[in-house]
Amino acid sequence: MADAKVIPFDEDSRTRRGGGRSRPRSRKAAAPAGNAAVKASGNATGGAGQAEDATAEQGPLTAVPEVAEIPAQAVPEGLAAEGRGAEARVSEAAVSEGPEAAEAPGAGVPESPAAAEGPGPDPGPEEPGEEPAEPEALSLTDALSGLADKLLGGGWERKAASGLAFLRRRITGEYEVDEFGYDEDLTEQVLMPLFRPLFEKYFRVEVKGVENIPAEGGALVVCNHSGTLPWDGVMAQIAVRDHHPADRHLRLLAADLVFALPGVNELARKGGHTLACTEDAQLLLERGEVVGVMPEGFKGLGKPFAERYKLQRFGRGGFVATALKTGKPIVPCSIVGAEEIYPMLGNSRTMARLLGLPYFPLTPTFPWLGPLGTIPLPTKWTIQFGTPIPTDGYPPESAEDPMLVFNLTDQVRETIQHTLYELLVQRRSVFF
Protein backbone atom coordinates (compact mmCIF):
# COMPACT_ATOMS: atom_id res chain seq x y z
CA MET A 1 0.00 0.00 0.00
CA ALA A 2 2.94 2.36 0.70
CA ASP A 3 4.45 1.79 -2.75
CA ALA A 4 1.15 2.69 -4.58
CA LYS A 5 1.60 5.50 -7.09
CA VAL A 6 -1.19 7.79 -8.23
CA ILE A 7 -1.08 8.53 -11.96
CA PRO A 8 -2.63 11.88 -12.79
CA PHE A 9 -5.53 11.88 -15.30
CA ASP A 10 -4.11 14.35 -17.87
CA GLU A 11 -4.52 15.03 -21.56
CA ASP A 12 -1.92 12.38 -22.54
CA SER A 13 -3.82 9.61 -20.85
CA ARG A 14 -7.02 10.71 -22.49
CA THR A 15 -5.29 10.64 -25.86
CA ARG A 16 -3.97 7.14 -25.30
CA ARG A 17 -7.37 5.81 -24.20
CA GLY A 18 -9.94 7.57 -26.33
CA GLY A 19 -8.09 9.20 -29.20
CA GLY A 20 -8.80 12.76 -28.06
CA ARG A 21 -12.43 12.11 -27.22
CA SER A 22 -14.00 14.65 -24.88
CA ARG A 23 -14.95 13.52 -21.42
CA PRO A 24 -18.62 12.69 -21.16
CA ARG A 25 -20.78 14.41 -18.62
CA SER A 26 -21.53 12.12 -15.69
CA ARG A 27 -25.11 11.44 -14.69
CA LYS A 28 -26.24 12.90 -11.38
CA ALA A 29 -27.14 9.45 -10.11
CA ALA A 30 -23.54 8.26 -10.52
CA ALA A 31 -22.01 10.57 -7.92
CA PRO A 32 -24.21 9.51 -5.03
CA ALA A 33 -23.75 5.91 -6.00
CA GLY A 34 -19.97 6.38 -6.08
CA ASN A 35 -19.96 8.16 -2.73
CA ALA A 36 -22.05 5.47 -1.21
CA ALA A 37 -19.64 2.87 -2.46
CA VAL A 38 -16.66 4.77 -1.03
CA LYS A 39 -18.42 5.27 2.30
CA ALA A 40 -19.27 1.63 2.47
CA SER A 41 -15.68 0.69 1.78
CA GLY A 42 -14.44 3.20 4.37
CA ASN A 43 -16.68 1.87 7.05
CA ALA A 44 -15.66 -1.69 6.29
CA THR A 45 -11.92 -0.95 6.72
CA GLY A 46 -12.33 1.28 9.74
CA GLY A 47 -11.73 4.92 8.69
CA ALA A 48 -11.23 7.61 6.07
CA GLY A 49 -7.56 6.70 5.48
CA GLN A 50 -8.39 3.17 4.64
CA ALA A 51 -11.04 4.44 2.17
CA GLU A 52 -8.39 6.51 0.32
CA ASP A 53 -6.12 3.46 0.08
CA ALA A 54 -8.99 1.39 -1.32
CA THR A 55 -9.75 4.08 -3.88
CA ALA A 56 -6.13 4.31 -4.98
CA GLU A 57 -5.84 0.54 -5.24
CA GLN A 58 -8.98 0.23 -7.43
CA GLY A 59 -8.06 3.05 -9.75
CA PRO A 60 -9.69 6.38 -10.50
CA LEU A 61 -13.49 6.55 -10.70
CA THR A 62 -14.90 7.26 -14.13
CA ALA A 63 -18.30 8.51 -15.15
CA VAL A 64 -20.98 6.19 -16.47
CA PRO A 65 -21.82 6.96 -20.10
CA GLU A 66 -25.32 8.17 -20.74
CA VAL A 67 -27.88 5.66 -21.95
CA ALA A 68 -30.08 6.82 -24.77
CA GLU A 69 -33.56 7.42 -23.48
CA ILE A 70 -36.43 5.63 -25.21
CA PRO A 71 -39.55 7.70 -25.88
CA ALA A 72 -42.21 6.92 -23.28
CA GLN A 73 -45.00 6.61 -25.82
CA ALA A 74 -43.15 3.79 -27.65
CA VAL A 75 -42.57 1.58 -24.62
CA PRO A 76 -45.27 0.05 -22.46
CA GLU A 77 -45.20 0.92 -18.80
CA GLY A 78 -43.99 -2.56 -17.80
CA LEU A 79 -41.09 -2.48 -20.23
CA ALA A 80 -40.17 1.08 -19.19
CA ALA A 81 -40.01 0.05 -15.55
CA GLU A 82 -37.81 -2.87 -16.53
CA GLY A 83 -35.54 -0.50 -18.48
CA ARG A 84 -35.18 1.83 -15.49
CA GLY A 85 -34.16 -1.14 -13.37
CA ALA A 86 -31.56 -2.06 -15.99
CA GLU A 87 -30.11 1.49 -15.87
CA ALA A 88 -29.69 1.24 -12.12
CA ARG A 89 -27.91 -2.08 -12.52
CA VAL A 90 -25.56 -0.56 -15.12
CA SER A 91 -24.68 2.34 -12.78
CA GLU A 92 -23.87 -0.03 -9.92
CA ALA A 93 -21.81 -2.24 -12.24
CA ALA A 94 -19.84 0.78 -13.50
CA VAL A 95 -18.90 1.79 -9.98
CA SER A 96 -17.93 -1.71 -8.84
CA GLU A 97 -16.15 -2.94 -12.00
CA GLY A 98 -14.43 0.18 -13.27
CA PRO A 99 -14.40 2.17 -16.50
CA GLU A 100 -14.09 -0.86 -18.85
CA ALA A 101 -17.48 -2.25 -17.90
CA ALA A 102 -19.07 1.19 -17.98
CA GLU A 103 -17.77 2.10 -21.44
CA ALA A 104 -18.89 -1.17 -23.06
CA PRO A 105 -21.73 -0.24 -25.41
CA GLY A 106 -25.06 -1.64 -24.26
CA ALA A 107 -23.54 -3.44 -21.29
CA GLY A 108 -26.20 -4.78 -18.94
CA VAL A 109 -29.05 -3.18 -20.96
CA PRO A 110 -31.21 -5.70 -22.83
CA GLU A 111 -32.15 -4.66 -26.31
CA SER A 112 -35.86 -3.86 -26.51
CA PRO A 113 -37.80 -4.83 -29.66
CA ALA A 114 -39.79 -1.61 -29.33
CA ALA A 115 -36.57 0.43 -29.22
CA ALA A 116 -35.15 -1.38 -32.26
CA GLU A 117 -38.26 -0.88 -34.38
CA GLY A 118 -38.90 2.68 -33.33
CA PRO A 119 -42.02 4.30 -31.90
CA GLY A 120 -45.23 2.34 -32.42
CA PRO A 121 -48.85 2.42 -31.28
CA ASP A 122 -49.43 2.45 -27.57
CA PRO A 123 -50.98 -0.89 -26.60
CA GLY A 124 -52.37 0.66 -23.44
CA PRO A 125 -51.44 0.16 -19.83
CA GLU A 126 -51.26 -3.34 -18.50
CA GLU A 127 -51.81 -3.79 -14.84
CA PRO A 128 -49.29 -6.10 -13.21
CA GLY A 129 -50.67 -9.47 -12.19
CA GLU A 130 -53.82 -9.17 -14.35
CA GLU A 131 -54.98 -12.53 -15.72
CA PRO A 132 -56.80 -12.97 -19.06
CA ALA A 133 -60.57 -12.94 -18.74
CA GLU A 134 -62.21 -16.37 -18.77
CA PRO A 135 -65.52 -17.02 -20.58
CA GLU A 136 -68.50 -16.76 -18.30
CA ALA A 137 -69.99 -20.04 -17.20
CA LEU A 138 -73.35 -20.98 -18.70
CA SER A 139 -76.24 -20.21 -16.45
CA LEU A 140 -78.76 -22.86 -15.41
CA THR A 141 -81.37 -21.33 -17.73
CA ASP A 142 -79.08 -21.59 -20.77
CA ALA A 143 -78.21 -25.18 -19.90
CA LEU A 144 -81.87 -26.18 -19.60
CA SER A 145 -82.69 -24.37 -22.84
CA GLY A 146 -79.97 -26.28 -24.69
CA LEU A 147 -81.21 -29.58 -23.26
CA ALA A 148 -84.77 -28.78 -24.34
CA ASP A 149 -83.56 -27.98 -27.88
CA LYS A 150 -81.91 -31.40 -28.13
CA LEU A 151 -84.89 -33.31 -26.74
CA LEU A 152 -87.78 -31.37 -28.28
CA GLY A 153 -86.11 -29.89 -31.36
CA GLY A 154 -85.90 -26.32 -32.51
CA GLY A 155 -88.82 -23.98 -31.91
CA TRP A 156 -89.94 -25.80 -28.78
CA GLU A 157 -90.77 -22.50 -27.11
CA ARG A 158 -93.23 -21.63 -29.86
CA LYS A 159 -94.72 -25.12 -29.68
CA ALA A 160 -95.06 -24.88 -25.91
CA ALA A 161 -96.79 -21.52 -26.20
CA SER A 162 -99.16 -22.92 -28.82
CA GLY A 163 -99.94 -25.91 -26.60
CA LEU A 164 -100.71 -23.70 -23.62
CA ALA A 165 -102.97 -21.52 -25.75
CA PHE A 166 -104.77 -24.67 -26.94
CA LEU A 167 -105.34 -25.84 -23.36
CA ARG A 168 -106.70 -22.44 -22.43
CA ARG A 169 -109.18 -22.55 -25.32
CA ARG A 170 -110.30 -26.05 -24.37
CA ILE A 171 -110.83 -25.05 -20.74
CA THR A 172 -112.67 -21.83 -21.52
CA GLY A 173 -114.67 -23.33 -24.42
CA GLU A 174 -113.33 -20.83 -26.99
CA TYR A 175 -113.50 -23.21 -29.96
CA GLU A 176 -116.10 -24.02 -32.61
CA VAL A 177 -117.67 -27.29 -33.76
CA ASP A 178 -119.85 -27.39 -36.88
CA GLU A 179 -123.11 -29.29 -37.26
CA PHE A 180 -121.22 -32.43 -38.41
CA GLY A 181 -119.05 -32.46 -35.29
CA TYR A 182 -115.89 -31.21 -37.01
CA ASP A 183 -113.52 -29.62 -34.46
CA GLU A 184 -110.92 -27.74 -36.48
CA ASP A 185 -108.93 -26.63 -33.44
CA LEU A 186 -108.56 -30.20 -32.13
CA THR A 187 -107.73 -31.52 -35.59
CA GLU A 188 -104.97 -28.98 -36.22
CA GLN A 189 -103.41 -29.11 -32.76
CA VAL A 190 -103.75 -32.80 -31.85
CA LEU A 191 -104.92 -35.18 -34.58
CA MET A 192 -102.77 -33.93 -37.44
CA PRO A 193 -99.54 -33.78 -35.39
CA LEU A 194 -100.36 -37.26 -34.06
CA PHE A 195 -100.51 -38.91 -37.50
CA ARG A 196 -98.08 -36.66 -39.37
CA PRO A 197 -94.95 -38.67 -38.35
CA LEU A 198 -96.52 -41.75 -39.98
CA PHE A 199 -97.08 -39.76 -43.15
CA GLU A 200 -93.60 -38.19 -43.29
CA LYS A 201 -91.26 -40.69 -41.62
CA TYR A 202 -92.93 -44.11 -41.67
CA PHE A 203 -94.80 -44.33 -44.97
CA ARG A 204 -92.76 -41.51 -46.59
CA VAL A 205 -95.74 -40.50 -48.70
CA GLU A 206 -95.00 -38.82 -52.03
CA VAL A 207 -97.78 -36.49 -53.17
CA LYS A 208 -98.38 -35.66 -56.83
CA GLY A 209 -100.91 -33.42 -58.57
CA VAL A 210 -102.48 -32.01 -55.41
CA GLU A 211 -102.82 -28.67 -57.19
CA ASN A 212 -105.56 -30.27 -59.32
CA ILE A 213 -107.89 -29.75 -56.36
CA PRO A 214 -109.46 -26.28 -56.79
CA ALA A 215 -108.06 -23.57 -54.52
CA GLU A 216 -111.59 -22.53 -53.58
CA GLY A 217 -115.08 -23.91 -53.90
CA GLY A 218 -116.33 -27.47 -53.56
CA ALA A 219 -114.75 -30.56 -55.13
CA LEU A 220 -115.32 -34.31 -54.86
CA VAL A 221 -112.13 -36.41 -54.48
CA VAL A 222 -112.66 -40.10 -55.38
CA CYS A 223 -109.98 -42.55 -54.11
CA ASN A 224 -109.30 -46.28 -54.30
CA HIS A 225 -109.59 -48.10 -50.96
CA SER A 226 -107.31 -50.84 -49.61
CA GLY A 227 -105.04 -51.93 -46.77
CA THR A 228 -107.25 -53.95 -44.37
CA LEU A 229 -107.38 -50.95 -42.01
CA PRO A 230 -108.33 -47.49 -43.38
CA TRP A 231 -104.90 -45.84 -43.11
CA ASP A 232 -105.23 -44.64 -46.70
CA GLY A 233 -108.04 -42.25 -45.79
CA VAL A 234 -105.99 -40.64 -43.03
CA MET A 235 -102.92 -40.29 -45.29
CA ALA A 236 -105.03 -38.70 -48.05
CA GLN A 237 -106.40 -36.22 -45.54
CA ILE A 238 -102.89 -35.18 -44.42
CA ALA A 239 -101.69 -35.00 -48.04
CA VAL A 240 -104.33 -32.43 -48.92
CA ARG A 241 -103.87 -30.43 -45.74
CA ASP A 242 -100.06 -30.25 -45.82
CA HIS A 243 -99.34 -30.06 -49.56
CA HIS A 244 -102.17 -28.08 -51.12
CA PRO A 245 -101.16 -24.48 -51.90
CA ALA A 246 -104.38 -23.20 -50.32
CA ASP A 247 -104.15 -25.44 -47.20
CA ARG A 248 -107.47 -27.07 -47.92
CA HIS A 249 -109.03 -29.71 -45.68
CA LEU A 250 -110.41 -33.03 -46.92
CA ARG A 251 -113.76 -34.04 -45.39
CA LEU A 252 -114.03 -37.83 -45.77
CA LEU A 253 -117.28 -39.78 -46.03
CA ALA A 254 -117.09 -42.86 -43.76
CA ALA A 255 -119.15 -46.04 -43.44
CA ASP A 256 -121.74 -46.63 -40.72
CA LEU A 257 -119.40 -49.01 -38.86
CA VAL A 258 -116.93 -46.18 -38.14
CA PHE A 259 -119.57 -44.24 -36.23
CA ALA A 260 -120.76 -47.35 -34.38
CA LEU A 261 -117.42 -48.04 -32.70
CA PRO A 262 -117.00 -46.36 -29.31
CA GLY A 263 -114.14 -43.87 -29.21
CA VAL A 264 -113.59 -44.07 -32.95
CA ASN A 265 -116.95 -42.36 -33.47
CA GLU A 266 -115.90 -39.21 -31.57
CA LEU A 267 -112.46 -38.98 -33.17
CA ALA A 268 -113.89 -39.44 -36.67
CA ARG A 269 -116.47 -36.71 -36.15
CA LYS A 270 -113.97 -34.26 -34.69
CA GLY A 271 -111.51 -35.02 -37.50
CA GLY A 272 -113.99 -33.93 -40.18
CA HIS A 273 -115.45 -37.29 -41.22
CA THR A 274 -119.15 -37.62 -41.78
CA LEU A 275 -121.62 -40.31 -42.74
CA ALA A 276 -121.42 -41.53 -46.32
CA CYS A 277 -124.87 -40.42 -47.41
CA THR A 278 -126.07 -38.25 -50.27
CA GLU A 279 -127.54 -35.55 -48.02
CA ASP A 280 -124.33 -34.89 -46.04
CA ALA A 281 -122.14 -35.01 -49.13
CA GLN A 282 -124.36 -32.57 -51.03
CA LEU A 283 -124.50 -30.13 -48.12
CA LEU A 284 -120.71 -30.09 -47.72
CA LEU A 285 -120.17 -29.57 -51.46
CA GLU A 286 -122.64 -26.70 -51.53
CA ARG A 287 -120.75 -25.07 -48.65
CA GLY A 288 -117.55 -25.18 -50.73
CA GLU A 289 -115.81 -28.05 -48.90
CA VAL A 290 -113.45 -30.63 -50.42
CA VAL A 291 -115.21 -33.98 -49.90
CA GLY A 292 -113.47 -37.34 -50.14
CA VAL A 293 -115.16 -40.63 -50.97
CA MET A 294 -113.93 -44.22 -51.45
CA PRO A 295 -116.63 -45.98 -53.47
CA GLU A 296 -115.15 -49.50 -53.08
CA GLY A 297 -115.99 -49.49 -49.37
CA PHE A 298 -115.29 -52.70 -47.45
CA LYS A 299 -115.02 -54.65 -50.69
CA GLY A 300 -111.79 -52.86 -51.49
CA LEU A 301 -110.55 -52.54 -47.92
CA GLY A 302 -110.86 -56.26 -47.15
CA LYS A 303 -109.91 -57.85 -50.48
CA PRO A 304 -107.22 -60.57 -50.42
CA PHE A 305 -103.59 -59.80 -51.15
CA ALA A 306 -103.74 -61.73 -54.43
CA GLU A 307 -106.16 -59.11 -55.82
CA ARG A 308 -104.11 -56.07 -54.79
CA TYR A 309 -104.47 -52.95 -56.94
CA LYS A 310 -107.47 -54.39 -58.76
CA LEU A 311 -110.37 -52.01 -58.23
CA GLN A 312 -113.65 -53.47 -57.03
CA ARG A 313 -117.08 -52.34 -58.10
CA PHE A 314 -117.85 -48.64 -57.48
CA GLY A 315 -121.44 -49.21 -56.39
CA ARG A 316 -124.30 -47.50 -58.14
CA GLY A 317 -122.51 -44.20 -58.71
CA GLY A 318 -124.15 -42.20 -55.96
CA PHE A 319 -121.10 -39.90 -55.69
CA VAL A 320 -121.41 -38.99 -59.37
CA ALA A 321 -125.08 -38.08 -58.95
CA THR A 322 -124.14 -35.82 -56.02
CA ALA A 323 -121.48 -34.08 -58.09
CA LEU A 324 -123.97 -33.56 -60.92
CA LYS A 325 -126.55 -32.03 -58.57
CA THR A 326 -124.05 -29.52 -57.18
CA GLY A 327 -122.05 -28.97 -60.38
CA LYS A 328 -118.74 -29.62 -58.60
CA PRO A 329 -115.71 -31.25 -60.31
CA ILE A 330 -114.65 -34.84 -59.63
CA VAL A 331 -110.92 -35.34 -58.88
CA PRO A 332 -109.66 -38.96 -59.27
CA CYS A 333 -107.08 -40.03 -56.66
CA SER A 334 -104.82 -43.11 -56.87
CA ILE A 335 -103.02 -44.48 -53.78
CA VAL A 336 -100.11 -46.94 -54.08
CA GLY A 337 -98.49 -48.54 -51.04
CA ALA A 338 -101.48 -49.25 -48.83
CA GLU A 339 -102.09 -52.74 -50.24
CA GLU A 340 -98.91 -54.14 -48.66
CA ILE A 341 -99.11 -52.78 -45.10
CA TYR A 342 -101.23 -55.79 -43.99
CA PRO A 343 -100.92 -58.58 -46.56
CA MET A 344 -104.31 -60.25 -46.13
CA LEU A 345 -103.80 -63.97 -46.70
CA GLY A 346 -107.23 -65.10 -45.51
CA ASN A 347 -110.53 -64.11 -43.93
CA SER A 348 -112.07 -65.81 -40.90
CA ARG A 349 -115.78 -65.49 -41.56
CA THR A 350 -116.68 -67.13 -38.26
CA MET A 351 -114.79 -64.55 -36.22
CA ALA A 352 -116.23 -61.80 -38.42
CA ARG A 353 -119.80 -62.88 -37.62
CA LEU A 354 -119.07 -63.20 -33.90
CA LEU A 355 -117.58 -59.71 -33.74
CA GLY A 356 -120.08 -58.11 -36.11
CA LEU A 357 -117.35 -57.12 -38.60
CA PRO A 358 -117.49 -57.27 -42.40
CA TYR A 359 -114.29 -59.42 -42.39
CA PHE A 360 -111.66 -60.73 -39.97
CA PRO A 361 -108.22 -60.53 -41.62
CA LEU A 362 -105.54 -63.20 -41.34
CA THR A 363 -102.11 -61.75 -42.08
CA PRO A 364 -98.52 -63.00 -41.50
CA THR A 365 -98.51 -61.17 -38.15
CA PHE A 366 -102.20 -60.98 -37.08
CA PRO A 367 -103.65 -62.49 -34.95
CA TRP A 368 -100.55 -64.62 -34.25
CA LEU A 369 -98.54 -61.80 -32.63
CA GLY A 370 -101.48 -60.27 -30.81
CA PRO A 371 -101.42 -56.44 -30.63
CA LEU A 372 -98.02 -56.38 -32.33
CA GLY A 373 -99.70 -57.79 -35.42
CA THR A 374 -101.58 -54.52 -35.89
CA ILE A 375 -98.37 -52.62 -36.63
CA PRO A 376 -98.34 -51.89 -40.38
CA LEU A 377 -95.34 -52.63 -42.57
CA PRO A 378 -93.28 -49.52 -43.52
CA THR A 379 -94.10 -49.46 -47.22
CA LYS A 380 -93.37 -46.52 -49.54
CA TRP A 381 -96.53 -44.66 -50.55
CA THR A 382 -97.48 -42.51 -53.52
CA ILE A 383 -100.69 -40.47 -53.71
CA GLN A 384 -101.51 -38.90 -57.06
CA PHE A 385 -104.44 -36.58 -57.77
CA GLY A 386 -105.58 -36.63 -61.38
CA THR A 387 -107.07 -34.05 -63.69
CA PRO A 388 -110.53 -32.88 -62.54
CA ILE A 389 -113.57 -34.11 -64.45
CA PRO A 390 -115.98 -31.15 -64.73
CA THR A 391 -119.72 -31.59 -64.12
CA ASP A 392 -120.91 -28.00 -64.27
CA GLY A 393 -121.74 -28.43 -67.99
CA TYR A 394 -124.64 -30.72 -67.12
CA PRO A 395 -127.98 -29.51 -65.77
CA PRO A 396 -128.87 -30.55 -62.20
CA GLU A 397 -131.64 -32.86 -63.42
CA SER A 398 -129.01 -34.94 -65.29
CA ALA A 399 -128.29 -36.64 -61.95
CA GLU A 400 -131.43 -38.66 -62.63
CA ASP A 401 -130.08 -39.99 -65.92
CA PRO A 402 -128.74 -43.51 -65.14
CA MET A 403 -126.74 -43.80 -68.36
CA LEU A 404 -124.89 -40.54 -67.74
CA VAL A 405 -124.21 -41.51 -64.14
CA PHE A 406 -122.91 -44.93 -65.23
CA ASN A 407 -120.65 -43.46 -67.91
CA LEU A 408 -119.10 -40.91 -65.56
CA THR A 409 -118.65 -43.56 -62.87
CA ASP A 410 -116.87 -45.84 -65.29
CA GLN A 411 -114.70 -42.96 -66.52
CA VAL A 412 -113.56 -42.18 -62.98
CA ARG A 413 -112.87 -45.83 -62.22
CA GLU A 414 -110.85 -46.38 -65.39
CA THR A 415 -108.82 -43.24 -64.73
CA ILE A 416 -107.87 -44.40 -61.23
CA GLN A 417 -107.07 -47.95 -62.43
CA HIS A 418 -104.87 -46.73 -65.26
CA THR A 419 -102.99 -44.39 -62.91
CA LEU A 420 -102.42 -47.25 -60.46
CA TYR A 421 -100.77 -49.31 -63.19
CA GLU A 422 -98.54 -46.41 -64.16
CA LEU A 423 -97.44 -45.81 -60.58
CA LEU A 424 -96.72 -49.53 -60.07
CA VAL A 425 -94.49 -49.57 -63.16
CA GLN A 426 -92.59 -46.53 -61.88
CA ARG A 427 -92.17 -47.95 -58.37
CA ARG A 428 -88.69 -49.36 -57.70
CA SER A 429 -89.58 -51.34 -54.58
CA VAL A 430 -92.39 -51.88 -52.11
CA PHE A 431 -90.35 -50.42 -49.27
CA PHE A 432 -88.08 -47.92 -51.06
Mean of the per-residue pLDDT values of the chain: 77
**What's the CA gap between 44 and 52, in Å, rounded?**
12
Closest CA to 231 of 199, 194, 192, 184: 199
**What's the CA gap between 403 and 14, in Å, rounded?**
139
pLDDT digits (tens, 9 = 90+) for 222-271: 999 999 999 999 999 999 999 999 999 999 999 999 999 888 999 999 99
Residues with Cβ within 8 Å of residue 166, at least 6 apart in sequence: 185, 189, 190
* pLDDT given for residue 203 in this prediction: 97
pLDDT digits (tens, 9 = 90+) for 342-362: 999 999 999 999 999 999 999
159: pLDDT confidence band, cut at 50, 70 and 90? Answer: confident
Q: Cis check for the bond before 378: say yes or no (omega within 30 of 0).
A: no
158: pLDDT confidence band, cut at 50, 70 and 90? Answer: confident
Closest CA to 207 of 252, 243, 232: 243
* pLDDT given for residue 106 in this prediction: 44
* pLDDT given for residue 155 in this prediction: 72
- Identify the burial level of 96 via C-beta atoms within 10 angstroms of its C-beta, where 0-12 means exposed, 13-18 middle and 19 or more buried: exposed
